[in-house]
Amino acid sequence: MKAFYRNMTAATMIAFVLLPFLVLIMWSFSTRWFYPQLYPAQWGLRAWQYVFGIAGSQIISGLIQSMLVALVTAMISVLIGVPAGRALGLYNFKGKDTISIILTLPVIVPPLCVAMGLHLWFLKLGLTETFGGVVLVHLTFCLPYSVFVMWGVFSNYNPDYEDQARSLGATSWKLITRVMLPLTLPGIMVAGLFSFLLSWSQYLSTLIIGGGRVTTLPILLFALMGSGDRPVAAAVSIVFVAPAFLALLFSAGYLGGRSITGVR
Amino acid sequence: MGELLMKNLTIRYGGAEVVSEFDLAVHDAEIVSLLGPSGAGKTTVLKAVAGLIRPQKGEIIIDGQSVQHLPPEKRNAVMVFQKSLLFPFMNVAQNIGFGLRMQGRHGREIRRQIDRILELTELTGLGQRKVHELSGGQQQRVSLARALVLKPAILLLDEPLSNLDANLRQQMRELIQDIQVETRITTLFVTHDQVEALMISHRVGLLLDGRLRQVGEPRELFYRPVDPDVARFFGGCNFIQGHVKNGMFRSEYGNAPAPAINGNGHLLTATIRPEDILITPESKYDLQGQVQKTNFEGSATRIWVQCKDTRFVILTSETGIFPGQKVGLHLPPDKIRIFPGGPESGEMI
């Protein structure tokens, strides 16, 4: 029975994750591929030559832009998520339910509405078409996740560890760096990764707030797709997915139930 | 050197008074147990000494210095919790070295101290183990070692043995005793287990409902409780009433000399321990009763005997006694303990 489930998992993985990738890779290496054919009629490196040649500098700057936005967003998201999650997970106070509803709002309300609404405000505040504005709008989508993850981590967190550490001579600062952070590190990694990936894949909000000036990779990707050149779009898609995929592999050890429940 | 003085401590938790007017001194190299049922406020006192809770009133003095305005890390009093609370991201040696590193010490110096403490707590060779690879008893010993390595003036132990099984607990008690004798560390030990408290400590303080009811050597609390509550906590369950006349306590169950009590004519309560009552199936004694129930408990049998208006509980090694039987009872005068205060109404067992 166990083997059956394992095979099921493997089959699902292949069908829904690897197969689309396979098609993408095939597209990127094809030069001629028309409808009824199962394989490309002609293979070639044209798309990749384009990506690394003519469009190379554009794509690299998009990659850097995306990376910067996603890293800064993830960092701020964690910096706010950890104390917020700690407050929500460890202490009881008035308005806790209200906060959880407000936190879920950006997730429930369609992103388009959120981005459009914020656009008006950002216009007034002069935040449109700026790096900071894009980071801020990404944060509205990332923060709920990181706060909820850290909330979960801290509801399973035993504050006695901190009392013990204080009694053993730890000062407040060392309490945070030597006890709290290591104990919640798996959760922090998950919160950071969530935020990074969410920010990395934002298109609509970047387009609306960034106004085409903050050209992250998805913005470039959509522009290239619009031109109708499928092999090039496929190649750019792979370039787009690769860093996120690497980030996922890198933090694979931290994922899973252990990280959400925290270390006991 | 370690002297701990707690003066008139009052601690409230969300409006409720958990500890009231608590006075206790722990002398240098002494091990004092704070004994009491769960919820009596024992841990609260310990946390107040450690600096994790701020008392509303009173003073805590360690080695002549008032410490209630000092943060925990400056108090020279280290607490060991009920759960071992070992940091899971560190190995055994790193856990033990935590406090030393917090003091900013590093390298070979602390490694030597860790090795020495590993030996003292019988953990030699386990320094590189991961925490989750240890048994419960080993974890608790690491937790103890982590505190001992700091050589604090006061060691505060909060029921460190209560999560262990009976055999292991006995071993650990002996280990703590041995370590205490060797290091002469002043220790305040909190427990709800009377056997543990009586066995391990030089003196015992009994805490009931946030108030310290009696402090003294183990034998003193056990044999000379100051009031029925204390007696009851130590398993006393036979209470009789009588009058004192001319230095003699007289009741319908037995008499006892009471030279120190001068409440002439007043109704007083006295107690006798279940194992002190003599019981015999023959009609040897004046006091007669009928056995209601017997419970075999191994080395002793617990017998409930109805005698006049009182039901006595007797612990005896006698085995030939069965329910329904008529027995003779004798309450040896020297074993009857008379409470100096007034009688306790309505609480006769």
Whole-number average pLDDT of chain B = 89
pLDDT tens digits, B104-128? 888 888 899 999 999 999 999 999 9
- Tally the residues of chain A: 264
Distance CA B255, CA A42 (A): 115
Can you tell me the mean pLDDT for A2-24?
82
Where is pLDDT greater, at A31 or A87?
A: A87
CB contact under 8 Å between B85 and A161, yes or no, is: yes
DSSP secondary structure letters along B225-280: -SSHHHHHHTT--EEEEEEEETTEEE-SS-EEE-TT---TT-EEEEEE-TTTSEEE
What local confidence, expressed as pLDDT, does residue B305 receive?
Answer: 92
To test the contact with chain B by mutation, choose from A91, A156, A167, A178 the residue with the greatest count of B C-beta atoms within 10 A, namely: A167
Which residues in A have their CB inside 8 Å of a CB on B? 158, 160-161, 163-171, 174, 178-179, 182-183, 185, 263-264
For B49, the closest chain A residue by CA position comes to A167
pLDDT tens digits, A29-71? 888 787 777 778 788 888 888 888 888 888 888 889 999 999 9
Residues of B in Cβ contact (< 8 Å) with A171: 71, 73, 102
What local confidence, expressed as pLDDT, does residue B342 receive?
Answer: 54
For A168, the closest chain B residue by CA position comes to B99
Whole-number average pLDDT of chain A = 86
What local confidence, expressed as pLDDT, does residue A254 receive?
Answer: 66
* Nearest 10 degrees: Cα torsion A182, A184, A187, A191: -90
What local confidence, expressed as pLDDT, does residue A44 receive?
Answer: 83
Give the gap in angstroms from C-alpha B36 to the nearest C-alpha of chain A. Answer: 22
Q: Are B153 and B186 in contact (CB under 8 A)?
A: yes
Helix (H) or strand (E) holding A31, with range, is strand A30-32
Residues of B in Cβ contact (< 8 Å) with A183: 87-89
Distance CA B140, CA A90 (A): 26
Give the gap in angstroms from C-alpha B190 to the nearest C-alpha of chain A. Answer: 16
Composition of chain A by helix, strand, coil, percent to 5:
80, 0, 20
Q: Please report how many Cα atoms fall inside a 13 Å half-sphere around the Cα of residue B27, on the Cβ side.
A: 6
Distance CA A37, CA A31 (A): 13
Q: What does the DSSP 8-state code read for residue B80?
A: E
Q: Is the pLDDT of residue A106 over 90?
A: no
Give the gap in angstroms from C-alpha B273 to the nearest C-alpha of chain A. Answer: 40
Residues of B in Cβ contact (< 8 Å) with A184: none
Q: What does the DSSP 8-state code read for residue A197?
A: H
What local confidence, expressed as pLDDT, does residue A70 receive?
Answer: 95
Q: Do the strands B186-191 and B154-158 form a parallel or antiparallel pair, or are they unpaired?
A: parallel
Residues of A in Cβ contact (< 8 Å) with B47: 163
The reply to whether B150 touches chain A by the CB within 8 Å rule is yes
Binning pLDDT at 50, 70 and 90, where does residue A260 land?
very low
For A264, the closest chain B residue by CA position comes to B88
The SS3 call for residue B26 is strand
For A159, the closest chain B residue by CA position comes to B85
pLDDT tens digits, A177-192? 999 999 999 899 989 9
Distances from the Cα of B216 to the Cαs of B32, B178, B202, B223, B262, in angstroms? Answer: 9, 22, 8, 11, 24
Residues of A in Cβ contact (< 8 Å) with B52: 163, 166-167
Q: Is the pLDDT of residue A259 over 60?
A: no
Which of A95-99, A164-168, A252-256 is predicted most confidently?
A: A164-168
Q: Are A142 and A81 in contact (CB under 8 A)?
A: no
Backbone φ, ψ for residue A10 (5° rounding):
-60, -45
Q: How many angstroms separate the first and last alpha carbons of chain A? A: 32
Strand runs labelled E in chain B: 4-13, 16-26, 31-35, 57-62, 65-66, 77-80, 154-158, 186-191, 203-208, 211-216, 238-245, 248-250, 255-257, 267-272, 278-280, 287-296, 301-307, 310-316, 326-330, 337-338
Q: Please report how many Cα atoms fall inside a 13 Å half-sphere around the Cα of residue A203, on the Cβ side.
A: 8
- Tally the residues of chain B: 349
Binning pLDDT at 50, 70 and 90, where does residue A99 land?
confident
CB contact under 8 Å between B89 and A166, yes or no, is: no
Residues of A in Cβ contact (< 8 Å) with B99: 168-169
Backbone φ, ψ for residue B302 (5° rounding):
-95, 125
Distance CA B25, CA B61 (A): 9
- Give the angle A171-A175-A179 at the CA atoms, nearest 5°: 150
What local confidence, expressed as pLDDT, does residue A18 receive?
Answer: 80
Q: Is the pLDDT of residue A224 over 80?
A: no
Can you tell me the mean pLDDT for A75-104?
92
The SS3 call for residue A219 is helix
What local confidence, expressed as pLDDT, does residue B28 receive?
Answer: 94
CB contact under 8 Å between B89 and A182, yes or no, is: yes
In chain B, residues 90-109 whose CB comes closer than 8 Å to chain A: 98-99, 102-103
CB contact under 8 Å between B88 and A179, yes or no, is: no
Residues of A in Cβ contact (< 8 Å) with B46: none
CB contact under 8 Å between A182 and B87, yes or no, is: yes
Q: Is the pLDDT of residue A256 over 60?
A: no
DSSP secondary structure letters along A54-73: TTHHHHHHHHHHHHHHHHHH
Residues of A in Cβ contact (< 8 Å) with B89: 182-183, 185, 263
User: Which residue from B72, B89, B150 is facing A166, i.e. has the nearest CB?
Assistant: B72
For A182, the closest chain B residue by CA position comes to B89
**Residue that is written with structure tokens 């990659």 in the block:** A63
pLDDT tens digits, B274-296? 999 988 887 778 788 889 999 98
Give the gap in angstroms from C-alpha A86 to the nearest C-alpha of chain B. Answer: 19
Q: Are B231 and B238 in contact (CB under 8 A)?
A: no
10-residue averages of pLDDT along chain B (349 residues) = 91 88 94 91 93 92 92 92 92 94 88 92 91 91 94 93 87 91 94 91 93 94 90 90 84 81 74 90 82 89 90 88 88 86 44
Give the gap in angstroms from C-alpha A189 to the nearest C-alpha of chain B. Answer: 15
Q: Are B45 and B9 in contact (CB under 8 A)?
A: yes
pLDDT tens digits, A140-152? 999 999 999 999 9
To test the contact with chain B by mutation, choose from A91, A161, A162, A164 the residue with the greatest count of B C-beta atoms within 10 A, namely: A164
Distances from the Cα of A193 to the Cαs of A149, A152, A264, in angstroms? Answer: 11, 16, 22
In chain B, residues 31-90 whose CB comes closer than 8 Å to chain A: 47, 50-52, 71-73, 77-79, 81, 83, 85, 87-89
